[in-house]
Amino acid sequence: MSRSDRICRLITALAGILALAVTIGVPLGYFTVSYHYMHGTLDAEAETGAAVVNGIINSNPLMWQFEHVRLSEMLDRRPHDRVPEERSIADLTGTVIAESLDPLRWPVLSGTCGVYDAGTMVGTMKISRSLAPLLWDTASVAAGSLLVGLLFFSVLCTLPLRAVKSAYNYLQESEKRYRSLYESMKEGMALHRITYDEYGIPVSFSVVDVNPSCCRLLGFTREEMLGKDGDELYSGTVAGYFPEILRAASTGEAFSFDFVQHATSQRLHVAVFFPEPGFFAFLLEDVTQRKADEEQIRRLAYYDSLTGLPNRILLMDRLEQILAKARREKTRFVLLFLDLDRFKVINDTMGHAHGDQLLIQVANRLRHVLRSSDTLARIGGDEFVVLATLDGEEMNVAHLAQHLIDNITTVYPVSSREVYASTSIGIAVFPDDGSDCNSLLKCADMAMYAAKEAGGKGYHFYSPEMNRKAHARMELETNIRHALEQEEFFLEFQPIVNAGDGRFIGVEALVRWQDPERGRILPDLFIAAAEESGLIVPLGEWVLRTTCRKMKEWCEAGLPPCLVSVNVSGRQFSQPGFTDAVCSIVRETGIDPRFLALELTETSLMADGEAAVKALGKLKELDISIVVDDFGAGYSSLGYLHKFPIDRIKIDRSFIRDLGNQSNGRAIVEAIIALASRLNLHVVAEGVETSDQLDFLKEQGCHEVQGYYFHRPLSEETLMALLEEIKENPVPLFASPEGETIAISLAT
Ligand code: C2E
Ligand code: CA
Ligand code: CA
């Protein structure tokens, strides 16, 4: 029987009892009260009658029994309307002396009173009436009560029952609603009963109810779970939280935890709440994806996406930790700064995607070589940092650095080509070289530069000397800036001649710096610093503008025109406004652009091939010649050259120097010249110092040569004198694009 049925029955019974009480109680009460009243009335009247008889007795005590006429008359005199009554006076023997009798219907109620003679009872006075009218009245009252009782019953039954029913329906509906919510909710719900031992101490818990999501999350069916012990159902860690759950239950504090359910390998977040004493419920949420996302965000923030290694932020964090520990424990650790040798060239010539492939392979190698306790991070393009603790002597660090170099130095397969890579390492030691993260990193960086300067593929410990060098570098940059402002730069011009007959073809403009204190400084000492600081851009523009001005002056002085080459650094060439700057300088100085050539290295052309093609196209529109400088020193093949509108290639000095040696310099020069002639390119050889070199180059069909064998770089005056000489003895030199012949004579 349901609860609501029980309530209904109870209400019906109560209503029945009440209705019954009304139906029976009212007529019963009416009858009882009326009966007593009637009885009292009869007694009182009998008493009154008896008092009259007493009076008669007092006046004539011996005769009263014979006064029946008088007595009968007295009995006939009734105080009220004639209610049928029987009235009689009898002596003690029961002999009726007088009576007045109306016919009475059964049943009859009588009232009696004694008749006294001087205190002695001598007879009785009795008055009787029929109870029938009272019974009839009681019956009609009972009928009325029955009606009222029935009304009562129906009202009492129906009104509360309807209220209970509707409350019950409402409850049921709301329960249905909550049940469907409970069944369809994404979160799992599990209700548990706490199990107590004989002393009332909680020992474990069992499952009382679960929703479908809970089954899915835990990997069991509902039947498998109901009644099961918590230990069995949940993976190990959950039972461990039981004491804390009990504590939370007693304090009413919120409590939650995470665990991994082994059956489904899902990571679940559990919020515990307490619906009633002796029970607790779990609200389970699958946080596997959320945790994975958080992990991913953490990875993105702290790890390098290419190699998966810690990035600079994480490195600095670890460095802080290791630094604090080393300070506390008074131990030492080292920071190794690795930078791949010539990576920029590989990246520029083979493209970034291939550069990335190489970096991934290098990172993997480093990972395998290092101990798991060491930290390996990638902090920039080809820069890696290793953080290692020093458990033994310092020797270990040198050993570790050499070990890293040996393992990195190899040939890597990069998209069906083989790329050779090596690394330079700078080492800084805590606490010797620095006491904070940044200074240690800076020291290791400087030491790495020293390793690079020593030719790469080696390691270098930091020394304060390096710091001095770094300061010197910064000072140099300041000085270059100052020199630009003070116009301390000037130009020299090195002639380029025809390889066959030594006739003058043109010059290469070379920048020099006249420092008021240090005297004449050659470009090898400052070009690199200028490139690094970006000062090469204004310096390069100054060189180009000055060269063009000189060309114009020579022309106006009536000297014969000659081809003038100007070096352009990669940084300068990659400036977005470079070609516009060239155009405006040409226009502004009014020179004939056919006599201007720009020397670019292959790496600056390859850095952004498409942009280079566009820029060169614009320069070619102006009739400016393009020379590829230091050819062969980069990683590129001749194959790419057909993409660019090039006029000349200049074989790198190092190959010419190597011609006399047993190395394969000869084969390389031979191959370059053969290929260039097939591509219809002019070949220039620079750094020619001997007649043997000249002979070999002539033999191979090299078109033009430049070098100390013919001329050192000349001052402007010397060059002008040379051009004057040529003007005096003109000989045909080279055909301009328009076919006009420019006459210049041999100067040597
Ligand atoms: P580079 O473009 O390869 O210039 C040729 C260098 O070889 C010059 O050195 C020149 O003096 C030197 N040289 C010429 N003939 C011989 C020889 O027979 N034997 C030897 N051993 N060397 C010879 P320099 O003037 O010291 O210039 C060095 C480098 O500085 C240049 O190499 C060039 O890369 C750069 N440079 C010079 N001037 C400029 C400039 O105005 N702008 C830019 N961006 N770079 C410049
Ligand atoms: Ca050059
Ligand atoms: Ca060169």
pLDDT on residue 736: 37
Residue 2 burial class via C-beta count within 10 angstroms: exposed 0-12, middle 13-18, buried 19 and up = exposed
566 vs 548: CA distance, rounded Å: 10
Homologous superfamily (CATH) for 304-462:
Reverse transcriptase/Diguanylate cyclase domain (3.30.70.270)
- C-alpha 365: how far from its chain's center? 30
- Tell me if 707 CB under 6 Å of ligand 1: yes
Per CATH, the number for 3-135 is 3.30.450.20
Ligand minimally distant from the alpha carbon of residue 496: 1
Start-to-end Cα distance in the chain = 129
87 vs 72: CA distance, rounded Å: 9
At the top level of CATH, which class does the domain 188-292 belong to?
A: alpha beta
Domain with CATH 3.30.450.20 in the chain: 3-135, 188-292
For the residues 636-655, what does the mean pLDDT come to?
83
Angle at CA 302, nearest 5°, toward 360 and 321?
A: 110
pLDDT on residue 740: 42
For the residues 247-258, what does the mean pLDDT come to?
89
Q: Are 388 and 371 in contact (CB under 8 A)?
A: yes
For the residues 202-216, what does the mean pLDDT come to?
92
At the top level of CATH, which class does the domain 482-743 belong to?
A: alpha beta
Minimum-distance ligand 1 atom for the alpha carbon of 572: 44
Question: Which DSSP category does 594 fall into?
Answer: G
Both tokens of 576, joined, read: 């977005």
pLDDT, tens digit, 9 for 90 and up, residues 473-496: 888 888 999 999 999 999 999 999
Q: Are 126 and 110 in contact (CB under 8 A)?
A: yes
Kindly give the pairing relationship between strand 625-631 and strand 459-461.
unpaired
- Tell me if 527 CB under 6 Å of ligand 1: yes
Ligand minimally distant from the alpha carbon of residue 511: 1
654: Cβ–Cβ under 8 A, 6 or more apart, which residues?
A: 632, 633, 687
pLDDT, tens digit, 9 for 90 and up, residues 3-33: 767 887 888 888 889 889 989 999 999 999 9
CB atoms within 10 A of CB 222: 13
pLDDT, tens digit, 9 for 90 and up, residues 259-278: 888 878 888 999 999 988 89
**What single letter denotes the amino acid at residue 615?**
A
Q: Is 173 left (phi over 0), alpha (psi -120 to 50) or beta?
A: alpha
Q: Which of 298-302, 498-502, 593-597 has the lowest mean pLDDT?
A: 298-302
- CA 522 to centroid of ligand 1, rounded, Å: 9
- Tell me if 708 CB under 6 Å of ligand 1: yes
Both tokens of 667, joined, read: 């084969």
Both tokens of 158, joined, read: 């129906």
- Tell me if 687 CB under 6 Å of ligand 1: yes
Average pLDDT, the chain: 88
Domain with CATH 3.30.70.270 in the chain: 304-462
* Inter-helix orientation angle 132-184/3-59, to 10°: 160
| Among 628, 653, 657, residue to substitute to test ligand 1 (most atoms within 8 Å of Cβ) | 653
pLDDT on residue 636: 61
- CA 650 to centroid of ligand 2, rounded, Å: 8
| Among 494, 567, 654, 690, residue to substitute to test ligand 1 (most atoms within 8 Å of Cβ) | 567
273 vs 191: CA distance, rounded Å: 10
Domain with CATH 3.20.20.450 in the chain: 482-743
pLDDT at residue 541 above 90? yes
- Tell me if 540 CB under 6 Å of ligand 1: yes
122: Cβ–Cβ under 8 A, 6 or more apart, which residues?
A: 57, 64, 91, 92, 115, 116
Kindly give the pairing relationship between strand 333-340 and strand 423-430.
antiparallel
637 vs 363 pLDDT, higher one: 363
Helix, coil or strand: residue 574:
coil
Both tokens of 247, joined, read: 């504590």
pLDDT, tens digit, 9 for 90 and up, residues 351-378: 889 999 999 999 999 999 898 888 999 9
602 vs 344: CA distance, rounded Å: 12
As a residue count, the chain comes to 748
Question: Which DSSP category does 304 fall into?
Answer: -
